[in-house]
Amino acid sequence: MIEGLRRLEYRGYDSAGIALVDDGTIVSDKRAGKLANLEKAIAESPLPPVTTGIGHTRWATHGPPTDRNAHPHVGRARRVALVHNGIIENFAELRGRLESAGVEMASDTDTEVAAHLLEEQLETGVDLTVAMQNVCRGLNGAFTLVAVDSQDPDRVVAARRNSPLVVGIGEGENFLGSDVAAFIEHTREAMELDQDQVVTITREGVSVSGFDGTPAEGRRYHVDWDLSAAEKDGHDWFMRKEIFEQPRAVADSLLGRRGTDGLLQLDEMRLSDQDLRDVDKIIIIAAGTSFYAGMVAKYAIEHWCRIPVEVELASEFRYRDPILTSDTLVVAISQSGETADTLQAIRHAREQRSKVLSICNTNGSTIPRESDGVIYTHAGPEIGVASTKGFLTQLVACYLLALYLAQVKGTRFGDEIAQVMDQLDQMPAHVQSVLDKSEEVYALARDHVGSRSVLFLGRHAGYPVALEGALKLKEIAYLHAEGFAAGELKHGPIALVEEGLPILCVVPPRGRDQLHDKMLSGIQEVRARGACTLCLAEEGDTTIEPYADVLFTLPQVPVLLQPLVAVVPLQLFACELATQLGHDVDQPRNLAKSVTVE
């Protein structure tokens, strides 16, 4: 089990635990921190040799990474042990019901609720499989649940809704994992499940059913990857895997953000509505990719909330004596939550009595701890140094913040906010539709392997996308690349244009006709000077065709949300170009994942 968890540690590494079924009892150990902490504890106090057990490495969502919040969680009578990936959206309501019935919670997690509900079901006399079906019908959200019953030691039962789960088929043994990497040493025969299914494994076999109890079949397949490829889900790089995880990451970052009353709820906000109503200026501080997410946030917040927004590089912020008051909201964006520049900047802001809100992917990290509120992006671990799904989920968090401020300040009607949320809910499918055309982008990248310079153009919210596209190329392909606001070209940079220079152009949706027409003018200007124009434009935009040497179509989305789909082909382009050039895409030279020095 420990070896299996080691293969999954790239998915989450802030705590780990296992639970075993031994002679009618649950035996468990779990520890905060890396898997090594759990290994050390087990070495000092060995667990019994058994043949049925479950394990988990955690990426904290509800509750900080502590021993008590680590999985597995047990029911009140310690009959059931359970592990969980994902978010149970209606856990607060379920927790309230359990507490009013006298159940005392031992953790801050949403997961523990499911353990108590399973135990409740078992007490009615049903078996663990039926109990799991019954419980799952009452859960909202995205989840994988895996459970054992101490009174039924020969079976492990799991359930899946919008969260990974795969079955390993062995001889005289069977396995469950969130990734085939967990059991690849033991079997290469696997089975994938559909949504809303429960799977039961015993030593002898595997059975699948729907949440409603109807029998179902999984799809068997043979895994022909090696171990390192298995961890990368068959991709050559973690970065490419993470690009393809973006539909799921965007969906996860939107989970649980709307209450039953339809209003936005940001659980970790911690700033009162009155605090936010008093805000008269917002300063967004960030570095690198996060800075470009902040630039998009400026467009969204100013448009929806009518609050002036400044976006500033965290490393510059403290050194220019910024004007801060108690009515200034400083928003710090950091994927790791440990970025040294950004951390020092928020400390300076708090000394000036400003309120600080952080947008972060890492639960319990320093920047969220030192902020007045936090919006977690729930992207999951990002291994590739060049951020991809981290960027998209930061964009989602920025949109959520903008809409929440609009709700609190009353600058947008409820139905307008609901309409944008509905549009955001469609984004995972839109991102997937872009990924489905990845081969088009790869072919484009292969055509430009010999290029020594690439320019990127955008307007409005497409300008930060151009900057991010250029940064990706710098980071992993080591090419000169620059992003420009298209209107700036004629103020100097057009001198760089020469015959055959590739220029990637992010064309705004047609709803903003002035923007769109001016972008077309910029494209014509560079094409007249010999540039090779590679244009990203929405489906059905025929006006771009005469000016595009290559046209890649994007789903039709509102202009403010276009960055979510427009940046994806730029990520794919950089990843493939770097691969063709023979570079280490996941660990580019001179770069670190988390910049912890100023």
Whether residue 543 contacts residue 416, with contact meaning beta carbons closer than 8 Å, is answered with no
Strand pairing category for 550-554 and 532-538? parallel
Question: Using CA atoms, how far apart are residues 475 and 591, in angstroms rounded to an integer?
Answer: 8
Has 40 been annotated as catalytic? Answer: no
What angle do helix axes 427-435 and 414-425 make, rounded to 10 degrees?
Answer: 30
Which residue among the candidates 34, 281, 437, 593 is catalytic per the annotation? 593
- Per DSSP bridges, beta strands 156-161 and 141-149 are antiparallel
How many CB atoms sit inside 10 A of residue 470's CB? Answer: 23
d(CA 528, CA 93): 62
Non-local (6+) Cβ contacts of 401 within 8 A are 266, 297, 301, 331, 357, 359, 375
Q: Match 């609190």 to its residue by tokens.
A: 408
- Kindly give the pairing relationship between strand 197-201 and strand 206-210: antiparallel
* Main-chain dihedrals φ then ψ at residue 31, nearest 5 degrees: -140, 145
How many alpha carbons fall within 13 Å on the CB side of residue 372? Answer: 20
Preceding omega of 72 cis (within 30 degrees of 0): yes
How many other C-beta atoms are found inside a 10 Å radius of the C-beta of residue 381? 18
Give the Cα separation of 189 and 197 in Å (integer).
Answer: 19
3-state SS, one letter per residue, for 134-165: HHHCCCCEEEEEEEEECCCCCCEEEEEECCCC
Q: How far apart are CA 300 and CA 291, in angstroms?
A: 14
d(CA 278, CA 325): 11
Residues involved in catalysis: 593
